[in-house]
Amino acid sequence: MQTDNMQIDLAGRVKNTNLSPSKVLWPLFEAITNSIHAIEDAGINNGRIHIMIERDNTQQSLKDSDFAPIKNIVIEDNGIGFNDNNFNSFRTSDSTFKAKRGGKGIGRLLWLKVFEHVQIDSVFQQEDIFYQRCFDFSLIKQGISSLKREQTDRTDRITIVKLSQFKEPYQKKCPKSLEKIALRIIEHFLIYFMFDQYSIILQDNDDTIILNELYQERIRPYEETGSFQFKNETFKITTLRFYESSINESKVHLCAYQRDVWADRIDKYVPDLGKQIEDDQRNNHKKFIWLAYIEGQYLDKYINSERTDFNIDEEDSMFISKSELVKKAISHIKEQTTIKDYLASINETKKQRVEDYVQKEAPRYRHVLKHRPECLQTIPLKFLEEPHLMDLELHKISMQLELELIKKGKQFLTTKIEDIKELSQYQVEYKRYLEQENELSKAKLADYVAHRDIILKLLESHLKQSDNGKYSKEKSLHGLIFPLGQTSDDIAYDDHNLWILDERLSYHKYLASDKALSRLEPIDMDDDKRPDIIVFNSSLVFVEEDSRPFSSIVIIEFKRPMRQDSDDPVEQVYGYINKIRNEDVTDKEGLLISVRENTPFYCYIICSLTKKMRNLFELKDFTKSPDEMGYFYYHKNLKAYIEVISYEKLLKDAKERNRVLFDKLNLPR
């Protein structure tokens, strides 16, 4: 007897090997995989795998009184066995001996992650002589111990792997029912059962399940075979509704030589086939996943030597790419009755949900429903349960349509008359383009109008008295219309709401919000006064270049709603005007800018018309507006037009302007 330990920190490797208790059967799967590989290497046609479940009858099952907890699992096969090559691979950490089959050399580490120790007894043939190799494998003995290798009189190959003493918490997570374990094995090794390659038996003291027969009885009835042509190649497709699955992913598998080589998720191509699918009433609405297996001489020809992938250049048109083949297979699947009916029902549900959302909440996407209804099929049903996700998906489709229209518009603009061969066809396409472009423009306008409506609701909330009896500060209202401390060079065109005050204010040369006069870009002044908003409009045309006067200057002042002790806003405005008019003003390059005597100033004072404010404006000889919600005055000497607008009027007028657009676009209120 001798011992031969691995030259690694085995305990550390096992500790650092992650395995969730939900994957408790993986060590068994690894053992079955080893048995399959051993049978393949033996080159026999009567491969068999026998799995024995040994239960701990001394313990009472708390969840299922019919089954005692599992203590040990024994796996027996008639494969090539633990010959010298396989044994040397086993004792080598992270062995690459099985790399050609996709193995990573960690299966035996999973054994010790879940079980206390493993016993291996293998009879194998080497150069016409049969040998028996036995050894133990555990963390306690730091790897391999009790190793024996000796010649034997037996003449039949057999390998027995015993996984002993389930560890906590894995034992609690292990299915106790023999049938459940059988179905999990079939699920994991489905391709082998489809081609009926090996005989696999599962047994405990009371029951025996021949997995091949269970597959024929429970799963084969939901299997369908067919074929399709693609680029002069013929492919066989086997589809399967798997009702007993513990996973949620429907997949397409590409196979070669009756081996599963490569797989892709179906929901990447058909989002609604991602999770488990509910069958119709005939099958009691049971849930299943959809699996498809593709075979063909083309795939056999291009499989790589490791049988882990295909030697196919996805970018080379000479090849049939894997993605092309998967798409073709999915087209075939979608025509099968069960899936066709399921998708038709799903698409009708999606159509109703999207139409309802567009009609009530987002009319800006009407053009999507009309011109891209097929795109709704690409939106996962789960997204339609969340309005913000639905909106995001519709926005993506709308943007895609917009890009297509931009491209099409450029084509029409660059097409020469002499290049038009079919005028009638050209006119039809051009008319369709104009129709789509017009509807897209309406949709974008509708989106903008809806955005403005939200801003007005926000403004209205700012004007109301809060729970503590106070009103919003002028800075809050100011910031809603234009961000404080920013200029028109700092923010995007759509990131302000000057339209609330006057649509024309959106078009200007330069605007500054709550900036000192000394820090303004267009002028160079030594003054720290800070107008709430100051606007410099473009230079006048047809004037000498060295004078460059502004066409007009706009000043806007905000006062806190319902404030009684406010400073005199009129004098503030006059102070700004005098400062700019009476001092030499230069641009940032030091060149003189002409603020001519006739350069007009337009000034807005936004405030609450309290009694104190009304008295102030009337004493200064301001004229009351016809609706009595504001005042106006023209200062001849300063060439300044001053308008006082109450917050109530500001909100009312902005709402009315937006309401006109709502009505024109037939938008719901």
Per-residue pLDDT band for 95 (boundaries 50, 70, 90) equals: low
Same fold, 10-216 and 220-335: no
CA gap 524, 387 in Å, rounded: 50
In this prediction, residue 62 carries a pLDDT of 47
The mean pLDDT value of the chain amounts to 81
What is the domain partition of the chain in residue ranges?
10-216, 220-335, 343-452, 474-659
Sign of the Cα pseudo-torsion (603, 604, 608, 614, in order): positive
- Judging by DSSP bridges, how do beta strands 251-256 and 259-265 pair with one another? antiparallel
| pLDDT at residue 622 tops 90 | yes
More reliable by pLDDT, 508 or 344: 344
Helix, strand, or coil (residue 117): strand
- Global pTM reads 0.55
- For residue 99, the model assigns a pLDDT of 45
pLDDT for 514 beyond 50: yes
Tell me, what's the pLDDT at 659? 80
pLDDT beyond 80 at 520: no
H helix intervals, 45-101: 84-90
For residues 550, 554, 555, 556, the Cα torsion angle rounded to the nearest 10 degrees is -160
- Residues 448 and 506: beta-carbon distance below 8 Å: no
The larger pLDDT score, comparing residue 360 to residue 553, is at 553
Structure tokens, 593: 């800018």
Q: List, for residues 99-144, the tens digit of each pLDDT value.
A: 445 444 577 888 999 999 999 999 999 888 999 999 999 988 888 9
What kind of fold does domain 10-216 have according to CATH?
Answer: Heat Shock Protein 90 (3.30.565)
Selected residue with higher pLDDT from 505 and 616: 616
Under the banding of pLDDT at 50, 70 and 90, the label for residue 375 is confident
Q: Which of 152-166, 229-243, 580-594 has the highest mean pLDDT?
A: 152-166
pLDDT exceeds 50 at position 93: yes
Name the token pair of 80: 């090539």
| Lookup: tokens for 150 | 């000796």
pLDDT score, position 477: 80
**Euclidean distance between CA atoms 506 and 535, whole angstroms:** 10
- Write out pLDDT tens, residues 530-559: 888 888 876 543 334 444 567 788 899 988
Mean pLDDT confidence for 660-665: 66
Q: Which of 101-115, 350-364, 578-592, 647-661 has the lowest mean pLDDT?
A: 578-592
End-to-end Cα distance, the chain: 89
Cis peptide before 169 (omega within 30 of 0): yes
CATH class of 220-335: alpha beta
Q: Is the pLDDT at 587 greater than 60, yes or no?
A: no
Distances (CA, A) of 199 to 41, 46, 49, 82, 556: 16, 8, 6, 21, 87
Least trusted range by pLDDT, from 40-44, 76-80, 241-245, 304-308: 304-308
Contact predicate 67/177, CB 8 Å:
yes
Contacts 24+ apart (CB under 8 A), 227-233: 228/328, 228/329, 228/332, 230/320, 230/324, 230/325, 230/328, 231/320, 233/296, 233/297, 233/298, 233/320
* 666 — pLDDT class (breaks 50, 70, 90): low
pLDDT in the model for residue 103? 46
| pLDDT over 60 (residue 64) | no
The residue to which tokens 């049988």 are assigned: 307
Percentage of the chain exceeding pLDDT 90: 25
